[in-house]
Structure 1
Amino acid sequence: MTKKLPLEGVKVLEMGNFVAAPFAGKIFAEFGAEVIKIEEPTSGDPLRNWRLMHGNTSIWWYVQARNKKSITVNLRKSEGQNIVKQLVKKVDVVLENFKPGTLEKWGLSYEELKKINPSIIMTRISGYGQTGPYRDKAGFGSVAEAIGGLRYLTGYPDRPPVRVGIAIGDLVAGMYAVIGTLMALHVRDKDAEKRGQLIDVALYESVFSLLEGMLPEYVLTGVVRERSGSTLPGVAPSNTYECKDGKHVVIGGNSDNIFQRLMKTIGREDIANDPRYSNNQGRAENVEFIDSVIESWTKKHTLEEVLTMLDDALVPAGPIYSIKDIVNDVQYKERDMLLPVKLEDGKECLFPGIVPKLSDTPGEMKWIGPKLGEHNEEIYMGLLGYSHGQLKKLKKEGVI
């Protein structure tokens, strides 16, 4: 018997482009929610043309929009806005990442939509949130990473700040959107009147939330954490070390017991037994010395040799993988993180597996990112009850 997906029966109307809201929609769709993605009729979500292409379609799009249903709506036309209002009667969640004020301009604010469906949950993602002096500023994930404090910390102290290699600000905000929406669904389903609510996710706040204990540390001590390259500030040893073959290994020997095992493995029992290094504070104060000792050992061995010895000693260590390395890794294969997919032209491909893994109701991939408007007939005729004639008229008028 086919297992039921955990979000089966939940309907999500996705009105967002690029990364943050669509990433949230992707997670909903992977776990069984019916995600109806609204796209502009002529070219769709701009992500369809980002990065590397397969024919006329972004490869990233295939992943970001998997399991979603694409319909076209011109939200700038009153007829298109009316379509959204009809859909709101049928769905549980509206997910959007327009600039604050945009939906209000189109008559699609939360206040308006909850008049149509009091149970509706609206999840809004924006650069700075729906309130505050910055609400009207243009905001992208890259800027949120900067104002959220992450970029200040990324890189080496003698060089300008750099970005993480992915759209981390957008992706984290997307995950917070999912968490907030699931909590709101839980509350609504327990409420006697089944009332929905508004979720306000700001990109910069999502990034800021990752800054560990930096805020109270600054307030109480005046310490501003700075860029520290490959090290983990105040935690030792945790760094990247060069091996004999020129490859690099990341070693985390920063708990007391693990540090002792690490030192014994590299032949430095004298350091393992030295009371100066028995706790993290002492090691952090002498981190440059400890790192030099570790790297003097790693440089005598190949990466494979280092990993074998440290694995045997139960010391956390790992190579620095490129995507090429990931594709060939047995752990990824064993846990279904490299899903084989055949594209429409017959080309074989691999897609990322579903995260997280649920024992009884795991997520699944049903189809790749759809063609623009691929599900127009299914949604307009099947869900809203439109006729072929109505669809033809709306298309001629540029509404869909």
Structure 2
Amino acid sequence: MPDTVALAGMQQRVPFDPYAYDFHEDPYPTYARLRHEAPVYYNSEMDFWALARHADVRSAFRDATRLSNAWGVSLDPSSYGPDAHKSMSFLAMDDPKHMRIRKLVSKGFTPRRVNDLSGRITALTHEHWSKCLDKREFDYIADFAGLLPMDVVSELLGVPESDRAFLRRQSDLLLHREEGVLDVPEAAVYAYIELHKYYSALIAERRKNLGDDLVSALITAEIDDDATGEKTTLSEDEIVGFMVLMVVAGNETTTKLLANALYWGWRNPDELARVITDTDLVPEWTEETLRYDNSTQMVLRRVAADVEYGDVTIPAGQRVLLLVGSANRDEDVFDDPDRYRIGRDTAQALMSFGMGTHFCLGAHLARLEANVGLAEVVRSIKSVDIDIDNAVRVHSVNVRGFAELPVKVTVR
């Protein structure tokens, strides 16, 4: 165990509570203090460590041996444990189990299948955004950013339109955290149960009537077992786990990305004006948003064997947060990191989708959705104004973004 007496002063010098609503409003001053004053941080009250510097976060992502995913990636006590894979799929597994599921899932989640969605993403974007333009004043989340990613995931899974609002509501409930409650709230537990029931029924129906959707592909996917040489397939629980993961990782994070991009464009009107003038800059707008204010702010690892960062040893059995949001603002890596500057080169340094064994399988899809969606937005407007006094932030340990974002647009 760490010397908690010696480390207790750290949290007094730099208070860091991942559950605090004030922290959710603006985590970046805290991150800056952590990088400068306590880059390898220990919180004795909540019993977790945190890595704030880019170099340490990068190293941690690449160290899949000493830093384990097997107990999940969330600090919530109810989500942390040996059964985390039931709701987080292969995200909460180490190799070889992780690689087995990833290979099977990849059979259905191919780049071709994702690229084939491009036309549908464009059509869905136009369908939702044209209604927003008709209104001129609307909630960007409820009317656009929250609809598009859920529709895309639903198209992949073959979920009918009539069920998508229900699934998005359950997804929201899974993420939301109550102020002062340091665990998964009851509503989130029930949301997981509802999602499990829904997807189990969907799988049962699809087994009877296989189609060309992702669920059918997952049901029929096979790979050779490295140990036995026999064919292996996904179990029903493994398919459900992946589908639940898709709802959160494939829906909520992209919703937040779409909204964070618009928000920071509005906050930096000269940058937004550049994209409105030249829509070819949209992919760079997406990349700078991923760096500057990423949807996924932090992920957890369990220390499987003692690991050293600088002169600090984190003992086996401990929990350590990889502060992605802090790594992406590290002044040792990014020039003028607290400036939102579209067009900077982040290709080799971006931590937003992780690195190594657990690099995000949906990174390409998230970028595709954001690029298509944001291009449609700026192609059709002269300007945007946000009613920031009535904007509402999501309160989640891992995910950062807006639950409500009232906007007014001037149409071209």
- Please give the TM-score of this superposition, normalised by the length of structure 2: 0.22
Instruction: Report which structure shows greater RCO (CA 8 Å, sep ≥6).
Output: 2
TM-score by length of 1: 0.23
Name the larger-Rg structure: 1
